[in-house]
Amino acid sequence: MSAEALRRAIDAWHGLLGDEGLAADSAERMEQEHRSLGMYFGERALCTVLRPRFFTPGQWAGIRRGVETLMGAFRRAHEAAMRDPALLARFHLLDWERELVAQDPGFRSPCPTSRLDAFFDPDDGSLRFTEYNAETPAGPAYMDNLSEVFLALPVTGKFLRTHAVYPLPARHGVLHALLGAYAEWSGRRELPRIGILDWAEVPTYSEFVFFRDYFRQHGIACEIADPRTLEYREGKLMAGDFHITLIYKRVLIDELVLRMGMDNPVVRAVRDGAVCMVNPFRCKVLYKKASLAVLGDERNAHLFSPDEMRAIEAHVPWTRIVEARRTRFHGDEIDLLEWAEGNRERLVLKPNDDYGGRGIVLGWLVSDDEWRAALKTATETPYVLQERIHLPVEPFPSWVDGKVEIYDRMVDVAPFVTRTATIDGALTRIATDPLLNVTAGGGSSVATMLVEAR
């Protein structure tokens, strides 16, 4: 009944947008709110559609159960890798990354704030996780602000007469993750002084402003800083005259080290224990796309509980590091490289450490020669092979040239995970391009909400 209830709710929303005046007013309000709040990803409006992504409460409860069981498997894999150099090698860290992850961050969770990228099909209830952003997940503050915008739209006011809508807040999860890590690291009951760190030119800068203002509203001193402007002096990490005691790290670790070297002020301060950093260097282990390969590899099955093994089988597409070996594909033994060459239409190649869809090769969209060349590259630098999955599609309405246009777009769901354990809200992205990032064709971020008929 959940899928039917969801379709009825979506149809009811779209039916209201058949009123041209109501649709025009809603589109105008959406544009005004984007301008007044500065809700842009670089130059692009964060949201370009006039409907949230809806789940029924029952669907969301199923997603939550799947995530929380799977996170237990990620924690076990990380803990085992920290004890076992042979297992750690399967994540294919670089030499300088292994040096950094050896440092104890001062708190237990390797990823106090993270995000799983997934696809949920309401028709059959399937949930498939394709990536784990365990390092610098964007979106929680964007989604909270976008939810408030959707709740204020004129069409929502009409819709609420027949349906109840519940936002899924996310910023508080980040706040509690930061405060929890800082309390564990410091051993003291005091508020930190937060520095949000990333390059000044990144397109997500507007979200840093949302977080800075949110932290300040809760009485926490906070500044946004470019790592290039920081100084580490007299045992303190300083942004001008602002003493940072807790880094909310949005800059990628590899970019930080490759641009500024291992002797930069951030790395030195963290390694000296002068500042707490979330997420810590150890997040790099699970951030590698090899983490999904480690979970699904038959060689590692002994690490996980029966419930975790069932969750891996149900929710993680078959994933392996590209290498010369024999392995199993759904119970059948295969020669990995030979089999991969002959099955491009059912496979995706992904670089072990990249983001935003960069370097991904969709086997069904390239020629045999292009696929063989991509596989050759993947044997020379770490890549993973992942089984192609079904991408669910939903209709979304946009305001185009003075009228509503509704057409199908592929849609994902990316739950925000706190302390490598529990869900706090979710990001949804839609697109006509199967890479499904915000800048893809027809791409947009969308608020994620629960809905049920009154």
The reply to whether 361 falls in a domain is: no
Confidence bin at 148 (pLDDT 50/70/90): very high
Share of the chain above pLDDT 90, in %: 92
Please report which confidence band the pLDDT of residue 432 belongs to, taking 50, 70 and 90 as the band edges.
confident
Q: 438: pLDDT confidence band, cut at 50, 70 and 90?
A: very low
Which structural domain, as residue segments, surrounds residue 175? 2-286+391-453
At residue 270, φ and ψ (nearest 5 deg) are -65, -45
- C-alpha 373: how far from its chain's center? 29
Span 150-166, average pLDDT: 97
Q: What is the DSSP string of 229-250?
A: G-EEETTEEEETTEEESEEEE-
Residue 126's pLDDT is what? 93
**Coarse DSSP helix, strand, coil percentages of the chain, rounded to the nearest 5 percent:** 40, 25, 30
pLDDT tens per residue across span 349-370 = 999 987 767 889 999 999 999 9
Alpha carbon distance 197, 38 (integer Å): 19
Mean pLDDT of 16-31: 96
Whether 444 maps to a domain, the answer reads yes
Query: Do the domain assignments include residue 235?
Result: yes
Indicate whether 441 pLDDT > 70: no
pTM above 0.85, yes or no: yes
Any domain includes 376: no
Is the previous residue joined to 279 through a cis bond, with omega within 30 degrees of 0? yes
Residue whose structure tokens are 């983490």: 291
* Helical H segments across 297-424, by residue range: 306-315, 336-341, 368-380
| 277 vs 268: CA distance, rounded Å | 12
pLDDT score for 356: 67
Judged against a pLDDT cut of 50, whether residue 263 lies above it is answered with: yes
Q: Is residue 190 part of a domain?
A: yes
**Overall average pLDDT of the 396-414 stretch:** 94
- Residue 85 CA to chain centroid, in angstroms? 27
Region of residue 40 (left: phi > 0; alpha: psi -120 to 50; beta: else): beta
Element (H, E) at 119: strand 113-121
> In the predicted model, what is the mean pLDDT of residues 158-180?
97
pLDDT digits (tens, 9 = 90+) for 35-72: 999 888 878 899 999 999 999 999 999 999 999 999 99
Number of domains present in the structure of the chain: 1
What sign has the CA pseudo-torsion 428, 132, 437, 277? positive
Flag whether pLDDT at 112 surpasses 50: yes
Phi, psi at residue 320, to the nearest 5°?
-140, 150
Residue 344 belongs to some domain of the structure: no
Q: Is residue 330 part of a domain?
A: no
**Tokens, residue 266:** 């951030």
Residue 350: inside a domain, yes or no? no
The CA distances from residue 51 to 16, 317, 405, 433, 445, in Å, are 11, 29, 12, 19, 11
